[in-house]
Amino acid sequence: MRGLALTPQTRLSVSAVAAGALLLGALAVGSAFGGRIGLLMVVGGLLGMVLYHAAFGFTAAWRVFITERRGRGLRAQMVMLAIAVLLFFPALGAGSLFGTSVHGYVAPIGVSVLVGAFLFGLGMQLGGGCASGTLFTAGGGNARMLITLLFFVVGSLIGTAHFAWWQSLPAFRPTSLVTELGVGGGIAVSLVLFAAIAGFTVVMEKRRHGRLEQAPAIDVGNRRWLTGPWPLLAGAVALALLNFTTLALAGRPWGVTSAFALWGAKGFEFLGGDVSAWGYWQAPGNAAALRASVWGDITTVMNVGIMVGALVAASLAGRFAPNFRIPARSVLAAVIGGILLGYGARLAFGCNIGAYFGGIASGSLHGWLWLVAAFAGNMLGVKLRPFFFAGEAGRQPAAKSC
């Protein structure tokens, strides 16, 4: 079955219905579970629109640097992280933001993070996306990414079954730059590291190509803000600001994959299974989430918002056209990649959003370890891609924007 071509009128109708559903969903969730959760669904919708319109991804940016030494995407990530650190560290140092108690994602530094991040990085290239990339491309009409998402959930569930064993392996205590160096010291060290990474990409790109790649010219006037595309740097700034908004409303940074574990556990219990004895689900917060309604889970609500927001953006851009003709090897890559993504995220205390973006924005050293290990996993994944995506030289439309 080929892509479903939609007329302009139909696309407008789809976007209007999706936007309406997002707002009604936010009102319903807000009424049942509190206004902050309702607002966070809207924040999720905005994240989905930003991710889609700016084509802001991690998987493609890392692959392009590995294969072509083009670093524009990586440099945009450093801008995003720099803005986040400048916003987050003072709030985390104070312990509150606009009257709300806040905390960061600070996790132990050990074997679990190292292995989990490597597996996640490998899964990024096989699955065709990261955590945020899977959500916004699936919401934007990429049928293959629905397969990745399904097995992302499966892998997350398996990861919770093995979580206690992985946590028994050697690890250093959780360490935050904010607590160890203070707000100012933590910011200074972080900015130096971001600049060093950006500078390294510049050197490598100029060595390979002689000059830096020019960002495509984008007319940001008229209705471009509504229909896209947006400049990559605009996406970086918007994501940092929306993550900070999440911190203010939720009391912690943006996360994605804990919801996948919850969805998997709920589904497993619906089929007659029992996860309550697993170590991961005996932690007080996780046990409470398992007992409660899934719609009371902040991460779930934001994930749904991301997918709906991406649907709105894709419809407005005229690019919502699901294609269900997926080669068998591509399906296999989505299955394997999805499982690796889910499993790796549980071991590593998060994904490219919770561990990398949220972890580094929180000053956690595990976020930096995650970056190194996940990048190594991406390098292996890039080498394996031609087997699954033969004839496309390791590139495919599903991964361009994720």
98 lies in some domain: yes
Radius of gyration of the chain (CA): 20
**237's tokens:** 């700034």
265 lies in some domain: yes
**379's tokens:** 């390098």
Instruction: Please report where in the chains the tokens 């524009």 appear, as a residue.
Output: 72
Residue 199 has pLDDT above 80, yes or no: yes
pTM (two decimals):
0.94
345 lies in some domain: yes
In this prediction, residues 197-222 reach a mean pLDDT of 87
1 lies in some domain: no
At residue 171, what are phi and psi to the nearest 5 degrees?
Answer: -160, 150
Task: Give me the helix-helix angle, 328-347 and 111-127, nearest 10°.
Answer: 160
3 lies in some domain: no
Burial of 270 (0-12, 13-18, 19+ CB in 10 A): exposed
Q: What is the pLDDT of residues 298-318, one digit of tens each?
A: 999 999 999 999 999 999 988
Q: What is the pLDDT of residues 251-290, one digit of tens each?
A: 999 999 999 999 999 999 999 999 999 999 999 999 999 9
Helix (H) or strand (E) holding 171: strand 171-172
**234's tokens:** 């605009």
Q: What is the pLDDT of residues 99-125, one digit of tens each?
A: 999 999 999 999 999 999 999 999 999
2 lies in some domain: no
Residue 44 has pLDDT above 90, yes or no: yes
| Domain region containing 207 | 8-217+225-400
Q: If we measure between CA atoms, which residue out of 206, 228, 210, 208 comes closest to residue 218?
A: 228
281 lies in some domain: yes
Quote the pLDDT of residue 396. 39
Residue 239 has pLDDT above 90, yes or no: yes
Confidence of residue 13 (pLDDT cuts 50, 70, 90): confident
**pLDDT: is 321 or 30 the higher one?**
30
Number of folded domains that form the chain: 1
275 lies in some domain: yes
In this prediction, residues 349-373 reach a mean pLDDT of 98
